Amino acid sequence: MDDKKQMDRVQKIPISELVPFKDHPFKVVEDESMLRTTESISMFGVLTPLIARPIEDGKYEIISGHRRAHAAEAVGMTEVPVIVRDMDDDVAKILVVDSNLQRENILPSERAFAYKMKADAMKHQGERSDLWTEGTSSQVGTKIRTDELIAQQVGGSRNQIQRFIRLTNLIPELLDMLDHKKISFNPAVELSYLRPEEQQNLIEAMDFTQAAPSLSQAMRLKKLSQEGGCKLDDMCEILGEIKKGDLERVAFKSEQLRKYFPKSYTPRQMSDVILKLLDQWQKKRQRDKAR
């Protein structure tokens, strides 16, 4: 049996000998999906082998299967099935990204750093005249941009790939807000053009005004930054403006209302009760006016 076949066969590897891939762009978190994975592995074991590559000190770097390794350890397993494969850094980075992009729920920050990791690896391969270049695919012999190639592979547009990669310029705090939907995607792309210190000031301005920037506000902040600097006072003034949508709706935080309702009530049930009470209040006002 040659070395490659020997390396590609499934082996049982102790979890203690597996290490995460360096700068892995995908987070291993205890969410609902992880709970399902853990329950499945508890019942049936690890059905799909991990992929790892040998590294120094007798360890193996995980290429595909970080979540499976985490879940297996959580249920008390000491070893997991692994396909051990020798590969260089660029090939490994591309496989790390491709094997994770199939997941159902991927955070914007994960997708941003994944696209950047893959693009950088593909460009580096091209510099070595190996597989890809930013301008040329030696496999097909035609001119093609790296971001366009990624777009074709993931089913998106070149512009969308560029916009996701642009998000990697956001400071961690703003990325976290984007992941938790406290900032929308399009404004976040515009905010990524602000200098790091301006982004830090923006967080303070958002806290002061209790508002997140709309797309038009984010574009204005970006313009101010590019024209010489966006100061904290400018940010507070812009974010403090009344948005059109705010004139058309009244919003309450759930914790403001929750104390008035049984714990079992859903937001829809609370809304129904509030509207019913308002309807009764309106009828009472009309009766009082008629007297």
The tally of CA atoms less than 13 A away on the side-chain side of residue 24 is: 17
pLDDT tier for residue 144 given thresholds of 50, 70 and 90: low
Q: For the chain, give the longest Cα–Cα distance.
A: 99
Mean pLDDT value across the chain: 85
DSSP letter assigned to residue 57: G
* 91, β-bridge pairs: none
> Which amino acid, one-letter code, is at 250?
V
Which residue bears the tokens 């790296």?
146
- Interior angle at CA 235, CA 233 and CA 239, nearest 5: 120
pLDDT digits (tens, 9 = 90+) for 252-275: 656 677 788 887 777 777 778 888
The residues, ordered by sequence, that sit 6+ positions from 254 with a Cβ below 8 Å of its Cβ are 267
Distance CA 84, CA 140 (A): 29
The residues, ordered by sequence, that sit 6+ positions from 183 with a Cβ below 8 Å of its Cβ are 174, 177, 191, 212, 213
CA 12 to chain centroid: 32
Please name which of 169, 172, 214, 218 lies closest in space to residue 195, comparing C-alpha atoms: 169
pLDDT digits (tens, 9 = 90+) for 23-78: 888 888 888 888 999 999 999 999 999 999 999 888 999 999 999 999 999 999 99
Distance CA 224, CA 217 (A): 11
- Over 70: is that where the pLDDT of 249 sits? no
- pTM here is 0.71
